[in-house]
Amino acid sequence: MITRGTAMMRTNITELKLIHGMAEVLIELRKHVKSFGVLTSNATANVDLFLRTHGLREQFDFISSTSKLTGKAKHLKAIRKTFSLRAEELLYIGDELRDVKASQKAGIPVAAVTWGFNSRESLAASEPNYIFDSPADFLQLLNGR
């Protein structure tokens, strides 16, 4: 069933819209970070196609996929080791409670975005380091506001 869902998503991935303002934010963020990547439970090919469709693939150093819905903490630790980063040099951004939990388990700061699957209230209850209600919030954090 997951394989079928992934194939269906690939068929429709080019029709998915980018969150308003996100392209500009990603381009600006990329100027200020050592490494920029995607860790997802979606298929790498789907994310790659989505980013290419929106002209953003070149902004990212890597796309990493975990087929396990609960395997992100291990992957976060591996990414940290691969790029020789300290936990405080990372920020994992997720839109689900399991993203927040995985990042916390890996000891990595996490920002929860409110335009995903879970509500702002449930995300806040999971105690992420940051909660972003819009892409502009990324830049406010970057600028120290």
Note the pLDDT tens digit of each residue in 29-65: 999 988 889 999 889 999 999 999 999 999 999 999 8
pLDDT at 69 over 90: no
In CATH terms, the superfamily for domain 2-142 is: HAD superfamily/HAD-like (3.40.50.1000)
DSSP state of 127: -
63 three-class SS: strand
Ordered by start, the domain boundaries in the chain are 2-142
Let me know if 34 is exposed, middle or buried by CB neighbors in 10 A (0-12, 13-18, 19+). exposed
pLDDT of residue 4: 39
Q: What is the mean pLDDT of the chain?
A: 88
Residue 37's H or E segment, with its range, is: strand 37-40
Contact between 108 and 128 (Cβ < 8 Å): no
For the chain, give the percent of residues with pLDDT over 70: 89
| Tens-digit pLDDT profile for residues 87-96 | 999 999 999 9
Residues in Cβ contact with 24 at an 8 Å cutoff, skipping those fewer than 6 apart: 135
pLDDT of residue 3: 42
